Chains A and B, each alone.
Chain A
Amino acid sequence: MIYFVMLMLMCFIIGLVGVASNPSPYFAAFGLVMSAAIGCGLLASHGTSFLSFVLFLIYLGGMLVVFVYSAALTAEPYPESWLDWPVLVNVMMYLLGVGVGVYYFFGEWNMMHWMGVDELNNFSLWRGDLSGTSLMYSDGIMLLFLAGWVLLLTLFVVLELIRGLGRGALRVV
């Protein structure tokens, strides 16, 4: 299992290198989808299956669909992939930086980092993350109201930002 988690950590970094190395937004969105899926696997490997599920639903189901739609809206005729020359230079530079970091910290690498949230893990329906996140409805109720208020405020901000009849995206340029 620990080798599988190391593989997932490596693929997480590679996905974010693919986002950060400035390709066209199609490929960057693909890298972010890969990193989000692997992050779900990482959280599930630590036992927090509910938060992994939330991450999967919100990122891959909500936000990244919107991102892919916006990438299609602002389309470019010749997209740059990771194999084109300036992007490839960035990828190599970032991977070299990560490799230097691994080499620097490899002596004090602590492999015994495995902590789950399962105290009673034999046929238990009550995992630690479920009891932790349900505190949002009792003790953290003010935070819940704050998050709801911020979401409502964002709705008005978005409506105000894209308002306007004479300068719509679908006009004939």
Chain B
Amino acid sequence: MTPMHFTFTSAFILSLLGLTIHRTSLLSALLCLEGMMLTLYIALTLWSVENSSSAYLMSPLILLAFSACEACTGLSLLIATTRTHGNNHLQNLNLLQC
């Protein structure tokens, strides 16, 4: 366990805990997802760097493209929720079903 591995493991677990436990607003959940994708990007890069296998360095770029798609879909869901419900608090999605 190097400090680098400890940092990325704990950062990923922290973002996952923030996504699962605290769910006040939808935008906070999306920001926790983005933190997870940022951690995965850096972890993939450092994995292939520390194994000296530079042929796998294209995998973070593909991951970044997919995380851009995920961020776009999440933000459009946020905009749709704000349009129909007035705010983006996750408790209101159960209260005001329409």
Q: Please give the residue numbers on chain A whose beta carbons come within 8 Å of chain B beta carbons, in ascending order.
A: 6, 9, 12-13, 16-17, 19-25, 28-29, 32, 35-36, 39, 42-43, 46-48, 51, 54-55, 58-59, 62-63, 66-67, 70-71, 73-74, 76, 90, 94, 97-98, 101-102, 105, 108-111, 113, 115-117, 128-129, 131-133, 135-136, 139-140, 143, 146-147, 150-151, 153-154, 157-158, 161-162, 164, 167-169, 173
A136 and B11 CA atoms in complex are apart in Å by 28
Q: Mark B45-83, 1 if CB is under 8 A from A, else 0.
A: 110111010111110111011101101110111111011
With a CB–CB cut-off of 8 A, which chain A residues contact B28? 22-23, 25, 28
Q: Mark B75-93, 1 if CB is under 8 A from A, else 0.
A: 1111110111011100000
With a CB–CB cut-off of 8 A, which chain A residues contact B31? 19, 25, 28-29, 32, 67
If A13-B7, A70-B27, A167-B83 touch, whether A108 touches B1 (CB-CB below 8 Å) is: yes
With a CB–CB cut-off of 8 A, which chain A residues contact B60? 51
If A73-B79, A147-B62 touch, whether A154 touches B49 (CB-CB below 8 Å) is: no
A51 pairs with B1, CB closer than 8 A: no
Consensus secondary structure, chain A interface: helix
A13 pairs with B11, CB closer than 8 A: yes
When C-beta atoms are compared, the residue in chain B nearest to A167 turns out to be B83
A74 pairs with B2, CB closer than 8 A: no
Listed from nearest, the 10 A-B pairs whose CB atoms lie closest are A20-B18, A132-B57, A132-B54, A22-B22, A113-B2, A136-B58, A147-B65, A128-B54, A154-B69, A25-B27
B35 pairs with A70, CB closer than 8 A: no
B32 pairs with A19, CB closer than 8 A: yes
Give the shortest distance, in Å, between B87 (CB) and chain A (any CB).
7
A63 pairs with B84, CB closer than 8 A: no
A131 and B52 CA atoms in complex are apart in Å by 12
With a CB–CB cut-off of 8 A, which chain B residues contact A21? 18, 22
B49 pairs with A117, CB closer than 8 A: yes
15 contacts between A and B (CB under 8 A): A25-B25, A32-B35, A35-B35, A36-B38, A58-B68, A67-B30, A74-B25, A90-B22, A98-B14, A108-B1, A115-B52, A117-B52, A136-B62, A139-B55, A146-B62
Which of B56, B61, B84 has the most A CB atoms < 10 Å from its CB? B61
A162 pairs with B86, CB closer than 8 A: no
B38 pairs with A20, CB closer than 8 A: no
B76 pairs with A9, CB closer than 8 A: no
